[in-house]
Amino acid sequence: MSPRLGPHLISIEDLDRAGIERILDRAESFEEVAGREIKKVPALRGRTVVNLFYEASTRTSSSFELAAKRLSADVVNIRSIGSSVDKGESLKDTVQTLSAYDPAAIVIRSPHAGAAQLVAGWTSAAVINAGDGKHEHPTQALLDAFTLRRRLGSLDGANIWIVGDVLHSRVARSNILALQRMGAAVTVCGPPTLLPRDIEALGCRATATLDDLEEADVVYVLRMQNERMRDAYVPSLREYAARYQINPSRLHPDQLLMHPGPVNRGVELSAEAIDSPQALIGEQVKAGIAVRMAVLYELLVGSPLLAVVA
């Protein structure tokens, strides 16, 4: 029996392949719960999960909330648009205040890299990183791996292209690490101004054109944010779309299409591509709940049930 994970999930680097597989296996068993009329198991009854969100978020915060509730946990949601640091209270004081409630887990989303790791030093709760700056978003990568493993059976040897604004993307960083750990080969593609210098040090290839996109089994498209135009990373959305938009003319019918949401229709993806059967975007959202249930379960309860299920 493999050891219990944790105590925290801060980075994909906290997990080896066996650890990722274990979470995905657990998520498979929770997918079954989602099919029931009463979508609840009592695993975390009487325990508290705090969702601490310093950034606007729809799908991540709602899916963490649902995941905790389906495990029967008591859930406290704290949302702050902008940073509470700006409002006077430091992150440390906020976390120490919340820790007085003795939560089993704190789920944290922050605009700043390393926030989750700092929080882990200030609380006895398990800390789950729901996105820290442009650094990591490990549960997104896990749900993406889950979605792909379900579709492909295995990621071994899969050729995955991540296309778009890699520079500012925590999703890209966690996915590069997680997908490679699961046996896939990763290529990142985007405007040269939006590819970090030395990104190849993460083990992926980097290219500025879509010329070889046909080799991809999976095309993972990143969100292109409007503010990048203001900062002159790309001259215009029109030029970006002309060079990098994924649409049916650039896609084979057997290539899978993914996107972490929310999508800018007509910018990084054409409407036809979004609505095509090869798009897994809806499955990614759905997987989010089961995978986050699995992460909470593995960190807070651990191995016994897996042994029973197995």
Partner 1 sequence: MSSDKLFAPESRPIDLLIRSAQVLDPRSDLDEPHDILIRGGVVAELGAPGSLSPPEEAEVFDAAGRHVFPAFVDPHVHMRTPGQEYKEDLVTASAAGAAGGYCALIAMPNTDPVLDDPSILRALVERARHEARIPTGFMASITRGLAGDELTEMAALRDAGALGFTDDGKPVVSAGMLRKALQYQRLCGGVIALHEEDPALSRDGVMHEGAVSARLGLAGIPSVSESTMIARDGALARYEDARAHFQHVSAVESVEALAQAKETGARVSAEVTPHHLTLTDDLVRTLDSRFKMNPPLRAEPDRRALIGALRSGLIDCVATDHAPHARHEKEVPFEQAAMGTTGLETAFAALFTELVMPGELDLAVIVERMSAGAALFDLPTPRIERGAQANLVVIDLERSFEVGANGYVSRSENCAFQGRRLHGRVVLTLAAGAVAFRERLLVEAAPAR
Q: How far is the CB of 202 from partner 1 (least distance, A)?
A: 6
Check residue 80 for interaction with partner 1 (CB under 8 A).
no
Q: How far is the CB of 172 from partner 1 (least distance, A)?
A: 9
Tokens of 295: 């992460």
> Between residues 115 and 290, which has the closer beta carbon with respect to partner 1?
115
Check residue 117 for interaction with partner 1 (CB under 8 A).
yes
Q: How far is the CB of 170 from partner 1 (least distance, A)?
A: 6
How far is it, in rounded angstroms, from Cα 205 to Cα 243? Answer: 19
> Between residues 160 and 204, which has the closer beta carbon with respect to partner 1?
204
Check residue 198 for interaction with partner 1 (CB under 8 A).
yes
Task: For residue 299, give the amino acid letter.
Answer: L
Check residue 196 for interaction with partner 1 (CB under 8 A).
yes
Which parts of 19-173 are beta strand (E)? 48-53, 74-79, 105-110, 126-132, 159-163
Check residue 98 for interaction with partner 1 (CB under 8 A).
no
**Which runs of consecutive H residues, i.e. helices, occur in 170-280?**
170-181, 227-230, 237-244, 271-275
Check residue 173 for interaction with partner 1 (CB under 8 A).
yes
Helix (H, G, I), strand (E, B) or coil at 265: strand
Check residue 55 for interaction with partner 1 (CB under 8 A).
no
How far is it, in rounded angstroms, from Cα 244 to Cα 190? Answer: 7
How far is it, in rounded angstroms, from Cα 209 to Cα 124? Answer: 47
> Between residues 93 and 212, which has the closer beta carbon with respect to partner 1?
93
Q: How far is the CB of 224 from partner 1 (least distance, A)?
A: 17
Check residue 91 for interaction with partner 1 (CB under 8 A).
yes
CB-CB neighbours of 180 under 10 Å: 18
CA angle at 103 for the pair 101 and 105, rounded to the nearest 5°: 155
Q: Which stretch binds partner 1 (CB under 8 A): 63-71, 109-117, 211-219, 283-291?
A: 109-117
Q: Which stretch binds partner 1 (CB under 8 A): 41-49, 65-73, 131-139, 292-300?
A: 131-139
Interface with partner 1 (CB under 8 A), residue from 22, 134, 228, 259? 134
DSSP per residue, 24-62: HHHHHHHHHHHTSSS----TTTT-EEEEEESS--SHHHH
Check residue 8 for interaction with partner 1 (CB under 8 A).
no
Check residue 108 for interaction with partner 1 (CB under 8 A).
no
CA within 13 Å, CB half, 173: 21
Interface with partner 1 (CB under 8 A), residue from 40, 79, 90, 282? 90
* Contact by Cβ (8 Å): 145, 138: no
> Between residues 96 and 209, which has the closer beta carbon with respect to partner 1?
96
Tokens of 63: 């899916």
> Between residues 5 and 91, which has the closer beta carbon with respect to partner 1?
91
Q: Summarize as ranges the residues that interact with partner 1 (CB under 8 A).
A: 85, 90-92, 110, 112-115, 117-118, 132-136, 168-170, 173, 196-199, 201-202
